[in-house]
Structure 1
Amino acid sequence: MTDDGGGISTRGVRRAFGAVHAVVDVELEARPGRVTALVGPNGSGKTTLLLMLAGLLAPDAGEIRVAGVDPAAHGRAARARIGWMPDVFGTWESLTAREVLVTVAAAYRMTPDDGARRAAELLELVHLTELADSPAHVLSRGQKQRLGLARALVHDPDVLLLDEPASGLDPRSRVDLRELVRRLAAAGKTILISSHVLTELDEMADDAVFISQGRTVRSQSVDDAAAERRAWRIAALSPGLLTDWLTTAGTEARLEDDGTALVELDGDEAAAALLRDAVSAGVPVVSLAPAGGALEQAYLRLEEERR
């Protein structure tokens, strides 16, 4: 039933709802100590896959292992090792934030004292101590997201499944979430995150799995995505001088209305070489940076290829 693995593995997973094939063929690996991003458009099957990983839906076919356990066949053993954070907080809005966490602790058979202690720790961790005794229905969307994350952590799981965890968070809370996720990964936990905020995932994730129409279309590390050919934006004090130099150098570029130029470059080394040559030629460059996040550009390239 189990092994010593703490990661996530799927093979040939399928799930349909009548005539709608939500997940057609997903191959996924997420390793302990790393954050894996699950990337895809709306309707690509991300949430359905996460529900199956959490043991809340059974696959029609294929194999799933989460922390060495098949969540469909051995639900109790799997749930003991999985922390699940859905994209919406759910019910229980009449309970206070503290009562929500204490109730979840009791469901995991923690003693009342241990449950109360764990609730206090987690409320402090997600910066909700001041709202501990407020009913959940008065919390903002972002505060409910933080409470949802605390709820997923009550039993100190080996694997975290996070569906849109940054939704509704203010900038400070996004930074706190990113730092917390990285600390949890550093402690050896396996973390799988689905999010539409791809720029956030660039700074949070180690690996990415791209899915489209219920199928895995690519798996790669974020470092590999960053090293691929992608668009960079270059700006100079004199847009005309920049344009003339790019033309003379034979560098293909797309000129933008704001005077900047977009160039396709093969990673950081190519960008450094372009900057060196531009400065040597007397172009007053003021900035050179990727035009978007590594995962965002990788995702857009995949969508372009599929079209």
Structure 2
Amino acid sequence: MAIVSEQPGGQQVPDGGITAQGVSRSFGAVRAVDHMDFHAPAGRVTALIGPNGAGKTTLLLMLASLLAPDQGTITVGGLDPVRNRAEVRSRLGWMPDTLGVWESLTAREILTQMARFYRLPASGIAPRVTDMLERVRLADLADQPARVLSRGQQQRLSLARALIHDPSVLLLDEPASGLDPGSRIELRTTLRQLAAEGKAVVVSSHVLSELDEIADGAVFVNNGRTVRQQTTEEAAAAGRRYAITAADPAALAAELARLGLDFRREEGRRPGVSLVLHNELGAERLLRDLVLAGVGIRSFAPAVGALEETYMNLEGERR
């Protein structure tokens, strides 16, 4: 499948972000990543999207300099991790999908030790640790052993650990896993703030509905290859499916048919219809037309997010 890149000609953009070009990695006879391209610019949140087994985690491990590619190149802020490993790692923050904590240590002790690993000035470690604990809402549990933390609290500690040295590139593998709804909203806000500070933020997640609110763009991968790169605006402009319910479903269906629109009936707790609209202006006009025609609209909204729509379309093409 051809690569569709948001950069003209697929050219690397020199910025403080992270780029992979033609990277491959095999494990024995299994080729997990096959000439994959990826770019996450500074100051933006980039989503990494694909089904299980698509090569996302292998790519993240290579981007984090924890796994060397068999082929291809990776640059972090213009630096090669092979030649400049120490400097590259000082610029990277890595949050894996499982924390792997020292269970007998407290949250404060874990962050303090991580700060020492990154060789932060000794005088600044204590205030930095305190700031990170407050940022992820763990100040009240700072001196509790990590083993007593819930899954969501461990996720927040993992984020603080990734941020302790103020990296310019942040790699997050399923960061919302185990978080309650309130914590997910906080995570969303935090990631947008980090991007606003100029960091390149990469998020791999299966929760596609949330990525629309977080990401500025996305890289879609499958079978170890990059299949599409696009901005969130480009995804939204490509059209998405809207779900509509009305007080009188028959009247709604009749009016849509009169307007010559292709739709499908949706059964469930709130029966309605769904149809693909190409942009928000088209959605606005359709809603106006339905109301003016006297159809009692009860709900009118996108059925899925823009990035989720792209993902489903790619899955349909693959099949």
Please classify the TM superposition score into its range, dividing by the shorter chain length: over 0.9
Give the match for residue 143 of structure 1. 153
Rounded to whole Å, the distance in 2 between the matches of 1:218 and 1:133 is 45
Rounded to whole Å, the distance in 1 between the matches of 2:101 and 2:299 is 48
- Secondary structure of the 2:175 match is coil
Rounded to whole Å, the distance in 2 between the matches of 1:273 and 1:62 is 48
Aligned residues: 305
1:47 to 29, 48, 57: 57
Structure 2 residue 314 is the aligned partner of structure 1 residue 302: yes
Rounded to whole Å, the distance in 1 between the matches of 2:120 and 2:258 is 71
Structure 2 residue 287 is the aligned partner of structure 1 residue 275: yes
Give the match for residue 266 of structure 1. 278
Deviation at 1:282, TM superposition (A): 1.0
Rounded to whole Å, the distance in 2 between the matches of 1:134 and 1:103 is 15
- Secondary structure of the 1:92 match is coil
Runs (4+) off by over 6 Å: none
Give the match for residue 134 of structure 2. 124
Q: Which runs of 5+ in 1 are unaligned?
A: none
Structure 2 residue 100 is the aligned partner of structure 1 residue 93: no
Rounded to whole Å, the distance in 1 between the matches of 2:57 and 2:70 is 16
Deviation at 1:113, TM superposition (A): 3.1
Rounded to whole Å, the distance in 1 between the matches of 2:229 and 2:201 is 15
1:184 to 182, 194, 209: 194
Deviation at 1:240, TM superposition (A): 1.4
Give the match for residue 183 of structure 2. 173
Give the match for residue 237 of structure 1. 247
Rounded to whole Å, the distance in 1 between the matches of 2:124 and 2:239 is 52
The answer to whether the Cα contact below 8 Å between 1:102 and 1:112 also exists between their aligned partners in 2 is no
Deviation at 1:5, TM superposition (A): 3.2
Bigger shift: 215-224 or 245-254? 245-254
Deviation at 1:4, TM superposition (A): 7.6
Give the match for residue 144 of structure 2. 134
- Secondary structure of the 1:78 match is helix
Structure 2 residue 41 is the aligned partner of structure 1 residue 28: no
Give the match for residue 73 of structure 1. 83
Rounded to whole Å, the distance in 1 between the matches of 2:135 and 2:226 is 34
Give the match for residue 224 of structure 1. 234
Q: What is the TM-score with the length of structure 2 in the denominator?
A: 0.93
Bigger shift: 152-161 or 107-116? 107-116
What CA deviation, in whole Å up to 9, does each residue of 1:278-303 have, x standing for no partner?
Answer: 11111111221111111111101001
Rounded to whole Å, the distance in 2 between the matches of 1:230 and 1:124 is 39
Rounded to whole Å, the distance in 2 between the matches of 1:69 and 1:305 is 37
Rounded to whole Å, the distance in 1 between the matches of 2:30 and 2:82 is 21
Rounded to whole Å, the distance in 2 between the matches of 1:296 and 1:166 is 17
1:83 to 93, 104, 127: 93
Rounded to whole Å, the distance in 2 between the matches of 1:202 and 1:5 is 24
CA RMSD, 1 decimal: 1.2
Deviation at 1:228, TM superposition (A): 1.2
Deviation at 1:238, TM superposition (A): 1.1
2:116 to 93, 106, 120: 106
What CA deviation, in whole Å up to 9, does each residue of 1:178-227 have, x standing for no partner?
Answer: 10100110010110110011111110000100000110000000111112
Bigger shift: 285-294 or 92-101? 285-294
